[in-house]
Structure 1
């Protein structure tokens, strides 16, 4: 009986921390998308050319869509606004990045593999 009371008290106290893991995920993801979003917006025409060289259809449109999605995530995720809505296009962006850029390099992030985009996709799925 005493164990049950201890367990109940502990779970009640820990319930106050239930929002911390999603907050950490959102902050990590916003930080992770900031650099690529700024890089894309800083050279959007170069990104469109790069997308075209990889065979991505409508490269200019997709460059703007990827940059806009990532920048929207940088703004919305830390605030916790539209998290589930922005997560869907971000997961699509990660799938495209894995298939077109990272998969051929293997898994390891040090070799520009698909490790980091996969982790981002899993965090987005958890949100």
Structure 2
């Protein structure tokens, strides 16, 4: 049995060996997925910077962080600069670390009290009390829209949902960033790879 598994493993390795030159594509896909995420987040912080600082420092309705101006500036710069560097595949491992830190802070300080789900789905296995309570509100919203609006037009792109703001997206982005810390920018697809190749010469 073990010999059979070894032969199957050797066969799989030999069949996939020609694909090794495509091993930069997963890193490229992760980078390009994350670029608009961080660009939009950083842009919103920059456009409403005074509100961002106030929210970072507010101990009652915000994060209650010390040095809110500095931390808001660092978060904004990390997200905007990170989007540009990820797009280029330049300093991929290095920029993934502060972006990962922002995702951990966001998950723990902002999203964790809301549970796992980003969108409230009472039928999901991880539905907490907050999500289950959203079911009645969602039913009321649908009733109002069906009675007083063009429901088919309003829901043409998908059903009405309630944002739960759980940790789901923050954790997903954090996992993707951890993968980039290990993978780097990717073979052939990043400035990191071409720069390293040039320096080796």
Structure with greater Cα Rg: 2
Q: Does 1:125 align with 2:178?
A: yes
Question: How many residues are matched?
Answer: 126
1:23-57 Cα deviation digits (max 9, x unpaired): 00011111211111110000111000001112111
How many Å separate the matches in 2 of 1:7 and 1:31? Answer: 36
Q: Does 1:36 align with 2:89?
A: no
1:41-88 Cα deviation digits (max 9, x unpaired): 001110000011121111111110000000011100011100111111
Q: Structure 2 unaligned segments of length 5 or more: list them.
A: 1-7, 120-163, 181-201
- The 5 A counterparts of 1:108-123 are 108-110=117-119, 111-123=164-176
Higher helix fraction: Structure 1 or Structure 2?
Answer: 1
Counterpart for residue 16 of structure 1: 21
C-alpha RMSD over aligned residues: 1.8
Which of structures 1 and 2 has the larger relative contact order (alpha carbons within 8 angstroms, sep 6+)?
Answer: 2
TM-score if structure 2 supplies the norm length?
0.59
- The 5 A counterparts of 1:1-127 are 7=12, 9-53=14-58, 54-110=63-119, 111-127=164-180
How many Å separate the matches in 2 of 1:12 and 1:43? Answer: 50
TM-score if structure 1 supplies the norm length?
0.91
